[in-house]
A and B are shown apart, each in its own frame.
Chain A
Amino acid sequence: MEFNEHKAIYLQIAETLCERILIGKWKAEERIPSVRELGASLGVNPNTVARTYDYLQQMNVIYNKRGIGYFVTSQAREEIVSVMKTTFLKEELPKFFKKMNLLSIPFDELETIYKQNNQ
């Protein structure tokens, strides 16, 4: 995952939490830290973390059980992969192609390297 230091903090936190789910540190239907707990451990304003949680709820990555806390949804991985794939194809790949053109790297050269890496 590309780390973007210019991304808003609430999105940077969202990205980190999504990665935790992808690598299996946080599993489906598992309870995650409260807004206040995460705010304290990151040293970030709790309002920012609340915004991250709102965003992840809209993505259907986490859900709120009233009075109990936030949990990872059962379909979290699929949701994250689909959003990240779209971002990769729409935002990162065009930049990548632009750089390829800038350096005059032909596509077949790329294909060879790709195949070598995936042997």
Chain B
Amino acid sequence: MIHINNLSFSYPKHEVFRSLTFSLEGGNVYGLLGQNGVGKTTLLKILAGLQRSNKEACLVNGYNPYKRQPAFLREVYYLPEEPACPPGTVNDFARCCGGFYPRFDLGQFYGLLDRFGIQPLARFKDLSAGQQKKAHISYAIALNTSLLLLDEPSNGMDIPSKSLFRSVVSQHITPERVLIISTHQVRDLENLIDPVIILDKKGVVLHATIEEIAQKLYFFRDVDEDPSALYAEEVPAGYSMVRSNTAHHDSKVDLEILFNAALLHRDWFTDHFKK
């Protein structure tokens, strides 16, 4: 559904991507991970048509996003980390802007607002930052676009809303839809994001499903640091570690350990996860 082929992108004094290549398929909740400044937000903006990429390097549903054709735009929505505060009420905003998206479902929107505890008639500027975020997420989900891009969606959300968010996203995904969530809060989204894409300054370090990761890597804990571990982190119960899964045990993928290991052993990862 999304094809990125040799994508290069630079800001005036700073190169972000050099020949980035990967494809994304429907039915998945992609988790886009990377340290600050590696270009996660830039990539989402390119996919949404808000930043210009080199010619034909990026195809979304068969469209070049930057041409911003209506048939493309009605199927994609990008929710920034800190969306602007719209004038008027939550209801006004959704009724006015939702009209541009043919599958926007007003009933579903009200249902989501209700679950998040947001009054449709509240004015945006009277809501707290976290409440505004919940209103924006309800709107983004209810648009039912085939591509939804969420930049740090769980930031600013309270604890009950995070589990509600996971439930809502899980319900939202269908074989025709792609969801990309960029995040640093991997604990908030564990068990939800699959596949995982890890970016660093040189490009894609890892692009694999949780199943593929668990086939190649074994996540474990022990009282002592294991010399065979690729990465070890001291935790209250000893060491949380990851090593090559030579014994073919099926373990739970720990996204934080995975991320730290991938940054430390870039070559090992690109080598072992070759497609």
Q: Are A45 and B194 in contact (CB under 8 A)?
A: yes
List residues of chain A with CB within 8 A of the CB of B210: 9, 45, 48
B-contacting residues, A29-44, CB 8 Å: 36, 39-44
Kindly identify which residue among B27, B191, B250 contacts A48, using a CB–CB cutoff of 8 Å: B191
List residues of chain B with CB within 8 A of the CB of A6: 219-221, 251-252
What mask results when residues 36 to 79 of chain A are scored 1 for a CB within 8 Å of chain B, else 0?
10011111111110010000000000000000000000000000
Q: Are A9 and B166 in contact (CB under 8 A)?
A: no
List residues of chain B with CB within 8 A of the CB of A40: 167-168, 170-171
List residues of chain A with CB within 8 A of the CB of B173: 45-46
Question: Could you tell me the distance between the alpha carbons of A45 and B252 in the complex, rounded to whole angstroms?
Answer: 14
**Chain B contact residues: over half helix, strand or loop, or mixed?**
mixed
Q: What is the total number of residues of chain B having a CB less than 8 Å from a CB of chain A?
A: 25
User: Is A7 at the interface (CB under 8 A from chain B)?
Assistant: yes
Q: Are B211 and A39 in contact (CB under 8 A)?
A: no
Bin chain A's interface residue count. Answer: 10 to 19
Q: Are B171 and A8 in contact (CB under 8 A)?
A: no
Distance of A42 from chain B, by nearest CB (Å)? 8
- Nearest residue in B to A47 (C-beta to C-beta)? B194
List residues of chain A with CB within 8 A of the CB of B253: 8
Listed in ascending order, the chain A residues whose CB lies under 8 Å from chain B are 5-9, 11-12, 36, 39-48, 51
Inter-chain pairs besides A43-B170, A43-B191, A48-B210, 9 sampled, C-beta below 8 Å: A6-B252, A8-B252, A8-B253, A39-B171, A40-B171, A43-B166, A45-B194, A46-B173, A47-B194
